[in-house]
Structure 1
Amino acid sequence: MRPTEPDQESAVSVQLEMPEAGPSSVPGTSNGHNGSAAKQNGYGNSYSNGYSKASATDATNGGRPEKQAMSTTRVSLPGSTLYDDSYVDREEFVRLVIQSLRDVGYIESAATLEAESGYTMESSEVAEFRRCILDADWTRADAALMRLGVADDERLWEAKFLISQQKYLEMLEANKVTAALHVLRNELAPLNVDRDQLHALSSLMMCSNPEDLRQRAGWDGASGHSRRRLLGNLQRYIPSSVMIPQRRFATLLDQARAYQQSLCLYHNAPSNSRTFSLYTDHLCDKDAFPRVTTAILEVHTDEVWNLEWSHSGNFLASASKDKTAIIWRVEHDKDPSIREISQQFILRDHPYPVGCVAWSLDDSILLTSAEDHIKLWNTRTGLCVRSLEAHSDVVTALAWLPDGSGFISGGLDRKIILWDADGKQRDSWGQTPIRVTDLTVTPDFTRLVAVGMYDVPTNVPGPTATPPENGNQPGAGRTAENRVIVYDLLTKQPQLFIPVDGELTSVEVSEDSRYALINRAPEPNAPCEIHLWDLESERIARRYLGHKQSKHVIRSCFGGIDGSFVASGSEDAVVYIWHRDTGTLLEALSGHGPGSVNSVAWNPRNERMFASCSDDKTIRIWEAPPVHVVGVPVDAEDPRQAHEVDGKGKGKSRERWDGQATGSSYGLGSSSGSTLL
């Protein structure tokens, strides 16, 4: 699709007889045409994106009427690249500019550029094919497809199948069952379609109404976007030089944005016109990263072991060794200087220290666990609505299902139990291979990822030996082994066993359901690492180093925009934050008192806020430094001066998980509440 021979006129002159600059579709104007009616973008007929130039007599075949009042002289430039030192092909660039101009509505400008450059965006054959698909002219669409240079017969058949499938669905939607059956038998079946796929299509003939058809087929109908999606799918079979992929320039810009963001270690801003400019390379300001304490919550009277934000981001739940859980109200969308943080409820009545908290999807129910007890709390009244005692050992994990229909609990008794949202037991995994130390459900609602320890007989070699089902403790003739087990959520059957060195203390899965973030207390003399497991390739994708963990339960989390960061507590009283994709340690935040930082939770509605809890009995809210103290950390403390406290009897020690530690009785006190900095 190269330009035609240059005109005899000057190669660098442009002569335009055009109206005065301004909007080309202002109501009531004639766009420079005396006596003519108002037009859209200077044309009497609408001009669909993607149609090429044509003569006035070819308007029905994708062309446009020629304007008698405008003439454009072709410009002939030397070379074939955009600049002398550029690798970008000029024709490709200009054709993409023409496409972009049409996409956004600058139809006259696109036509002028075509005339001036001599390049057309696409041929009349492509324009005809595009229109045939959009107008459901299936007979002409098949004929037009044959002229577009599809590489081989197999790809041609695949493209024909997509067209015939759309035709079949539209006929069913229009209740033309006989015609649809003809397409199924005479067009789809001869294309050597997979038998299961053909049966699935034929079963759609039993749909009771068009809505049922659209729902079962996962298809939005002839009046929806299905035809444009079909064009996008057909693009895979047609050479891109012949039929340019839709919105190609926008795709290239998105790729450039993604690449620039991948180089920005502190990227933590949503992608929009205010955070991404074409004029400059993207770079986030480090000073906007959450790294100072803006509030200290001081109500718990003993170590704080766990915490979790509500889905709305307005509440924070904390679990403590003092046998209470607290629901805090945090106005996350207000400036720290005027924000109010208050104790919504202190949830008492736990017989033992509280280890886990979990919010329901609508934030109306909070789950807590204390030893083998689970309690359901109404978060609007602060009242306990049900107590559950199906476990016979410490409940170490609580996770709500992504659809909010229920929750799953796991414990050291090797039980994984599925509950209804109101606390009625629905199902059970039976006696599982591992003593569960944590679990989570993937956001795509397909898998359950559990971590823990099981016993392997010493006379059975290899890590793939069948785990015991009797729940016996490690002893003579047995060795302990730590595993990640990925279950199919529907069948409850294990899909994947991953052996991991060191005791596993927490697991969280990324929003795309592909990666599992696992904290582990390593074996003696082994490096302390947090692992990011790729569940698809079954390998470690990244390791995060720098924190300290040897005997306590430390929990990590994803955080920031698109889960770009990994944050974790540590036994040296420091909060550590890494860049997720590179593993670069970004921040080591001191401020907590002596003892472990046990858990970190990132606010789901504010990418610049997270919370941490510690053995020092406090919870800290971390945000970007205020403007007047940029670069000066609040409550900074040298982590080397922090000393470790004895973890014996903490309820979060390795001994407890092994059933060697016992709970103690602790009284509940009160203190001053939150301290705002």
Structure 2
Amino acid sequence: MQQQTANGASEVQQNGQTDGCEGDRAQGENGVEEVTPELSVVQQEMVRLIGQHLVELGFKKSADLLMAESGCRLDHPAAARFRQCVMAGEWAKAEAALGELRTMLDDPNSLKEMRFLLLEQKYLELLEGGQAMEALTCLRSQLTPLQHNMERVHQLSSLMFMSNPEELRSAARWSGMGKESRKDLMDRLQHFLPPSIMLPPHRLETLILQAVEHQRTQCAYHNTCSDSQVGENTDLCNTEEDSKVLGSGGSLLLDHSCPRQAFPCTTVQVLSDHCDEVWIARFSPDGNKLATGSKDSTVVIWDVDPETLTVTRRFTLDGHSYGVVYLAWSPDTSKLIVCLQEEAAELVVWDTERGEQICKVSNSPDDSLTCAAWHKDSRKFVCGGMRGQFYQCDLEGHILDSWEGVRVQCLAIQSDGRTVLASDTHHRIRGYHFEDVQDHNIIQEDHSIMSFTLDATGQYALLNVASQGVHLWDLRTRSLVRKFRGLTQGHYAIHSCFGGHNQDFIASGSEDNKVYIWHHKRELPVATLTGHTGIVNCVTWNPQYPAMVASVSDDGTVRIWGPAPEYRGAKTANPTTTNSTPPTANGRECEGGSSHGSFLSNGAAV
């Protein structure tokens, strides 16, 4: 009697010879006896994986030939019969074949779930086929007696009253009777079967995807961009399926490796529109605008060109009484909070589409409002400062709530929409709930937290800590994940950021006039950018165009960083500069600054 090995191959034939890749002899075309090589367990599994992939691609004859020549079997015979019955919609035979597989299941309890899935498909196909009485019998006599997933049974019973197939498919969240839905069913059923009996669906593709992903995580410069940002290199991906596996370019025939030139290490543009030190910069959430704030009391709003990775001045927000130390875009990109130096007693909210002031917040001449953060609805925000003011406000400048005695260094709002995070003078970040007046400690550092920011998920916080550098914290576990090395951080307020594809990178300015970029899993920088001649106060990464970074410095300039010209959507070497003068919000020109940027082909990047 034949006995199956774990890999699905026949171990002993009736004549006593082995059949599972054990070096069988075969007659060649020229009459010479050929010996099938004996395969190891790993080799047999590889043959099965290749065979499965050939079948999934539609090359069943090639798969059959491979199995015959290797002496292996793709699936256990009982599993093969089960698959055949399911795909043919022969539900009674499928249940019988499932009974044969009972003793081979790792978890006997999964048998009921598998039977339920079979009967669910049978019931839905009967309904769509107009066989209401047969469907009712299946529901009452087969599905309900299982006493399994009764919530779903009740949902299925309500489908009896559906008037047409489209309504039925929509309500059942089902693709309809046919090959596709049965294939989906088979994929779900395969998860309950041991891989020695039936391979998990798409196993070879899964392994390749895991290998590619592992190589990506090991790549220091992997920063997947849109087609417009990688230009001609997108020719390497010719199909949607290839793109899912490889991203924007690449090949399975080579190990994954992104060129450094495709990473934003090159100066694309140098902007000198501000008249003094530039302290803060922020890209808008939609990535189409950049705001920069300066000691000269102005904020410049720039329009982003995603093709060339350059910006052009839209207008200047003027009329502030002191230098601009902080900027906060509303989630809908239509508004911008401008926070001023500690000596100012107000902050200003601007309409960034029209360049008009929306409101001011000023409760007392003794106030200091040096930081702010928006709620998700873009209609409320929180603000605070080092003199103990901590307010929640609306767009009319009204203070809705206040929290007394908190000296706030920096603010953010967590993804839950209600927890306000504030760093204070006690080297900590605490969570505050204005609605129920509760607060709790989240992070405790040993030195002053000069600034912090959250990633898009709200799980991680990036802190610039005085004399320590940049620290990454997990807010859920309240644990320090990593300390990034290389930069010079004293007691200046330097603002770092998350950025790149999937926010895999960290970028920060430094007191040594450089920009440092790290992969979030590495302590040492993957890139150090030079070109500024003063302290780099802030770095901001475009959230929509991951090949675009901006930095601002005490040298009075804004630098735009991007890939080398050949990796951008358009060539930017030696462009023509214009002498047009963009308007300011109140008609005033900034003295001593150019009204256009200097475009560089290679910059001073290291």
Q: What TM-score does the superposition give when structure 2 sets the normalisation length?
A: 0.71
Query: Hey, what's the Cα distance between the residues in 2 that align with 1:172 and 1:505?
Result: 65
Task: Say whether residues 1:481 and 2:426 are aligned partners.
Answer: yes
Contact 1:397-1:437 within 8 A present in 2 as well = no
d(CA) in 2 for partners of 1:355, 1:213: 58
1:567 Cα shift?
0.7
Offset, 1:317: 1.0
CA distance in 2, matches of 1:582, 1:502: 23
**Aligned match of 1:520:** 465
The equivalent of 2:483 in structure 1 is: 543
Q: CA-to-partner distance for each residue in 1:480-524, whole Å, 9 max, x for gaps?
A: 5332345799999768722222222333333454332222224xx
Q: What letter is aligned with 2:327?
A: V
Amino acid at match of 1:396: C
Aligned with 2:327 (options 353, 357, 376): 357
Partner SS for 1:11: strand
Q: 2:198 aligns with which of 217, 237, 243?
A: 243
Instruction: Please tell me whether the aligned partners of residues 283 and 542 of structure 2 are also in contact (alpha carbons under 8 angstroms).
Output: yes
Residue 302 (str. 1) matches residue 276 (str. 2): yes
Q: Give per-residue Cα distances to partners, 1:597-643, cap 9 Å, x unaligned.
A: 11101123433321101122211112234579xxxxx9xxxxxxxxx
Instruction: State the partner residue of 1:409.
Output: 382
Q: Per-residue deviation at 1:435?
A: 4.0
Contact 2:278 2:294 in 1 (8 A): yes
Name 1:619's counterpart in structure 2.
558
The amino acid that maps onto 2:483 is: R
* Equivalent of residue 506 in structure 1, options 437, 445, 451: 451
Q: Which residue of 2 aligns with 1:563?
A: 503
Q: Cα deviation per residue 1:19-62 (whole Å; 9 max; x = unaligned)?
A: xxxxxxxxxxxxxxxxxxxxxxxxxxxxxxxxxxxxxxxxxxxx
Q: Contact 1:449–1:484 (CA<8 Å) still a contact in 2?
A: no
Contact 1:257–1:276, Cα closer than 8 Å, also in 2: no
Aligned length: 527
| RCO higher in structure (CA 8 A, sep ≥6) | 2
Q: What is the rounded CA distance, in whole Å, between the counterparts of 1:347 and 1:380 in structure 2?
A: 11
Gaps of 5+ in 1: 16-72, 82-87, 454-479, 523-527, 629-633, 635-666
Alpha carbons of 1:98 and 1:369: their partners in 2 closer, same or farther (altered >3 Å)? same
Q: Which amino acid aligns with 1:675?
A: S
1:13 aligned residue: 28
SS at match of 1:481: coil
Aligned to 2:594: 672
Shift, 1:282, TM fit: 1.8
- CA gap of 1:330–1:75, structure 2 versus 1, over 3 A, is farther
Per-residue Cα deviation, 1:47-105 (whole angstroms, up to 9, x for no partner): xxxxxxxxxxxxxxxxxxxxxxxxxx998523223xxxxxx622211111112122223
Distance 1:288 1:158, change over 3 A: same
The aligned counterpart of 2:294 is: 320
Aligned counterpart for 1:262 among listed residues 205, 208, 217: 217
Residues 368 and 209 of structure 1, relative CA distance in 2, 3 Å threshold: farther
Q: Give the Å deviation of 1:360.
A: 4.2
What TM-score do you get using the length of structure 1 for normalisation? 0.65
Quick one: which amino acid aligns to residue 599 of structure 1? C
Q: Would the alpha carbon gap of residues 587 and 134 (structure 1) be closer, same or farther in structure 2, given more than 3 Å must change?
A: same
Equivalent position of 1:383 in the other structure: 356
Alignment map for 1:55-134 (pairs within 5 Å): 77-81=36-40, 89-127=42-80, 129-130=82-83
After TM superposition, give the deviation of residue 393 of structure 1 in Å. Answer: 4.0
Change (3 A) 1:78 1:228: closer
User: Corresponding residue for 1:437?
Assistant: 409
The one-letter code sitting in structure 2 at the alignment partner of 1:294 is: V
CA distance in 2, matches of 1:407, 1:514: 22
User: Which residue of structure 2 lines up, in the alignment, with residue 292 of structure 1?
Assistant: 266
The alignment status of 1:587 with 2:527, answered yes or no, reads yes
In structure 1, what is the Cα distance between the partners aligned to 2:95 and 2:464? 56
Alignment equivalent of 1:366, drawn from 322, 336, 351: 336
Change (3 A) 1:152 1:280: closer
How far, CA to CA, are the matches of 2:91 and 2:435 in structure 1? Answer: 41
| Counterpart amino acid of residue 80 in structure 1 | L
**Residue type at the aligned position of 2:195:** S
Task: Give the aligned partner of residue 66 of structure 1.
Answer: none
Contact 1:359 1:400 in 2 (8 A): no
Change (3 A) 1:433 1:186: farther
CA contact (8 A) 1:171 1:179 kept: no
C-alpha displacement of 1:589: 2.3
Alignment-mate amino acid for residue 314 of structure 1: N
**CA RMSD, 1 decimal:** 4.7
Deviation at 1:251, TM superposition (A): 1.2
Aligned mates of 1:205, 1:327 — CA distance in 2? 59
Amino acid at match of 2:562: E
User: Where do residues 27-66 of structure 1 align in structure 2 (5 Å cutoff)?
Assistant: none
Change beyond 3 A, Cα 1:172–1:105: closer
Would you say the 8 A contact 1:358–1:400 is kept in 2?
no
CA distance in 1, matches of 2:441, 2:138: 43
> What secondary structure does 1:97 align onto?
helix
User: What fraction of aligned residue pairs are identical, expressed as a percent?
Assistant: 33
Name the one with the larger helix percent: 2
Residues 239 and 429 (structure 1 numbering): CA distance in 2 closer, same or farther, change over 3 Å? farther
Q: Is the 8 A contact 1:300 1:671 kept in 2?
A: yes
Residue 410 of structure 2 aligns to which amino acid in structure 1? D
In structure 1, distance between residues paired with 2:561 and 2:268? 6
- CA distance, structure 1, for counterparts of residue 138 and residue 413 of structure 2: 41
